[in-house]
Structure 1
Amino acid sequence: MEKEDDGIVREFAEALNQLRLQADASYAQITAYGAGQNRAVMYPNGTLNGWFTGENVPQDKKKFSLLVQFLEARARRRPGHVAASPEEWERRRAVASRSRRRARGAATTGSLEPLADQPVSAPTSKAVLVPTVGDRQKAERLVTAIPIDAPWLRALRLQPSLHKVQDRVQDPLFAAQVAMRDHFLRFADVQLRDQHEKLKAALDDLCDALSGLENDADGSTYSYIPPEWRREQPELYEQTNQGLKHARDVFIREYEGMAHLLNDKALLPD
């Protein structure tokens, strides 16, 4: 069954990459398209590569929908291209996403539950689910990597513009990214596992966006969008700033969602 699930994700990724090839769209063109939206949408190379190779399945529906609309519009210029509707692409994405979650659940529990087409009703029993030791340890590692009350996290959340980002804010983000990659064991709890994947993807997107900033090596304590862009390329300057803010907002949203889940499940360290 795990091989079958892997095949579903692989078929989805191959179809998505085939659409990109038919659209003759490079990663750079996709990134530029996203940045050019009224509200910039970030498509870091690492995220795109994960989607097109099947390493990851898109979780952000709006972000994925915008991508396939762009690719389909370009691919239609080619004779013989058979377009799929946005609804069909979303159906494929949802199937692949469920398949990936089921395969990961099997890797954790050693068994697979039947994959239902409809949501399963919540159990009526009032049994209390006790967190596993592994989930408690992973929660502690996560909160150590990104402390809820960290001054740098509060500064990131409240910073109105990201045209300049201090090292004391971005360095902990890069360190957290490394730590979360090293914590390869998944949560046993399905809700925590799914939210943790969203958080990791949001952190990767934010770090990818921050890595594009410039930094003066000689004693500089911050990175920045080139100030000359403000005069010479004001649209690019604003798009880059808005893209950074969007990536920041998504990361904060997913982190707060993770923190609330940990709190609801009594997994926040004392």
Structure 2
Amino acid sequence: MAELHEQLQQLWSTANKSFRNVAAYGKRNGVKLSPSTVKGWLGGVVPDSTTALTALVEYLETAAERESGWQRLPGGEWAALYRAAHEAKVKARQKTSAPATTPQRASSAPTLQNSTSPAQPGDIEKARRILKAFPLDASWFTSFEHQASFHRIHDSVQDPLYDGQNVLARNYKVRFLDPDLQRQSEKFHDTVNAFLHSLDHMDADGKSGYSQIPTEWRRSFRDQYESLLRKLSGQRDELMTEYGALINLFNERGIPLLPNGS
């Protein structure tokens, strides 16, 4: 059986719909199908529930039938794909949260890596994948540094973050051997997920390329507007902090911080 995101990717390419089309369909039907959410699912992020996923699949399968005679999956197969993906996600989190045990040795030499030990080859390779997805000169990093309040974001800034989120999701099952690197990478992963999840509350404008807090909120729902503005600005700052902490830790371990992750 194909994985959920693989089947979604095939359906997406066959349906030939844009993220804007999907978002508009979701809005008409009271379901949140923002570009950030759908991009995440296509990249391997597991949906929190089946409600929005079911709406997306129904919309895309209907379009794909018209486009190329797409054959709908047998009843219950999408649900089975979701359950399998969700169970894999839970198991991965349980595995990464379980304390690592170190075999007892007869020698008195220390077996745990100390805070100044150089990174091992496997950790360096994992770090390089993260640095390639989140390079020091990334557009989102330079943009966030110069943005006082966070009320909108351009596609050229947010798209690399979604791509990076997909890399983190695929990379999640492979643990760092260094416990400090593992803990900090998990904190960074969590802040990326939380920030991008909050972006789902923004409205996407296909013409300008910006997503922004709904403008009508400033007039009719001022408290909600201010609350989301504070939340996004705070999460943006937290993302920068955790990213900086991870980069500094890489540097301490002697991991090369190469431009553009090259």
Stretches of structure 1 that go unaligned for 5 or more consecutive residues are: 1-44, 58-98, 114-121
**1:146 and 2:143 aligned:** no
Instruction: Calculate percent identity across the aligned residue pairs.
Output: 29
Partner of 1:100: 97
- Give the Cα–Cα distance (whole angstroms) in 1 for the partners of residues 127 and 256 of structure 2: 7
**What is the deviation of 1:260?**
0.5
Partner of 2:183: 194
Aligned length: 166
Of the three residues 243, 246, 266, the one matched with 2:234 is: 246
Residue 247 of structure 2 aligns to a residue whose secondary structure is helix
- Give the Cα–Cα distance (whole angstroms) in 2 for the partners of residues 146 and 140 of structure 1: 10
- TM-score relative to the length of structure 2: 0.56
Structure 1 159/180 Cα, relative in aligned 2: closer, same or farther at 3 Å? same
**What is the deviation of 1:130?**
3.5
**What is the deviation of 1:163?**
1.2
**What is the deviation of 1:268?**
2.6
* 1:208 alignment partner AA: H
In 2, are the aligned partners of 1:139 and 1:268 still within 8 Å (CA)?
no
RMSD across aligned positions (CA): 3.2
Residue 208 of structure 2 aligns to a residue whose secondary structure is coil
**What is the deviation of 1:157?**
2.7
* 2:242 alignment partner AA: E
Partner of 1:204: 193
**What is the deviation of 1:158?**
2.2
- TM-score relative to the length of structure 1: 0.54
Stretches of structure 2 that go unaligned for 5 or more consecutive residues are: 1-46, 49-85, 105-109
- Give the Cα–Cα distance (whole angstroms) in 2 for the partners of residues 195 and 151 of structure 1: 22
Aligned 1:1-270 pairs, distance under 5 A? 100-102=97-99, 105-106=100-101, 111=102, 129-184=117-172, 185-217=174-206, 219-270=207-258
**What is the deviation of 1:126?**
9.4
In 1, are the aligned partners of 2:202 and 2:212 still within 8 Å (CA)?
yes
**What is the deviation of 1:129?**
2.6
- Give the Cα–Cα distance (whole angstroms) in 2 for the partners of residues 128 and 100 of structure 1: 23
In 2, are the aligned partners of 1:142 and 1:180 still within 8 Å (CA)?
yes
**What is the deviation of 1:226?**
0.9
- Give the Cα–Cα distance (whole angstroms) in 2 for the partners of residues 144 and 236 of structure 1: 36
In 1, are the aligned partners of 2:191 and 2:238 still within 8 Å (CA)?
yes
- Give the Cα–Cα distance (whole angstroms) in 2 for the partners of residues 230 and 161 of structure 1: 15
* 2:180 alignment partner AA: Q
